[in-house]
Structure 1
């Protein structure tokens, strides 16, 4: 999130603050509604989901007890590769 804020702040500090605030707010919503996001199409795994916030994607994994693990936050145009961060734990 720091990197996103710093990148956007090069053009507009106010917009950077707004986007970072929106991202944190969206992540907070997941505490109450963990299944709010959609399944990430690249994985077709019910437990790996995403929330879109403006042009950014919050990718997270459902964990036990309706908890979530945020896997990544990045620009929505970036591709997600099948790295170890997104592989299902055995």
Structure 2
């Protein structure tokens, strides 16, 4: 059985904002790109280590995959078999803040 994917409130807000921004130019393209981000994230259910470790955070459980210009930053919890998506972040925007594990 694969890992469960969860999105943080920041990740949900990021995804919504990305789709809204792209839709100003092309609503159809915005929907397609939103779906691409979500489908790319779903691959993590079977391959949670497919992304690289994020050097800025110096935590081996924080990883990322890149979808076009966007970083999907996530944390793998091996004990609970969960992948917690922290942010969808444009690569040109520098390093995002992510919530620390509680």
Question: Please, what TM-score do these two structures have when normalized by structure 1?
Answer: 0.85
Q: Which has the higher contact order (CA 8 A, sep 6+)?
A: 2
CA deviation vs aligned residue, 1:18-69 (integer Å, no higher than 9, x gap)? 2111100011000110101111121232100001001111100011243210
Cα 1:47–1:79 change in 2 (3 A) is same
Unmatched 5+ stretches in structure 1: none
Displaced runs of 4 or more, over 6 A: none
Unmatched 5+ stretches in structure 2: 1-14
CA RMSD of aligned residues (A): 1.6
1:72 aligns with 2:87: yes
State the match for 2:68 in structure 1.
54
Aligned residues: 87
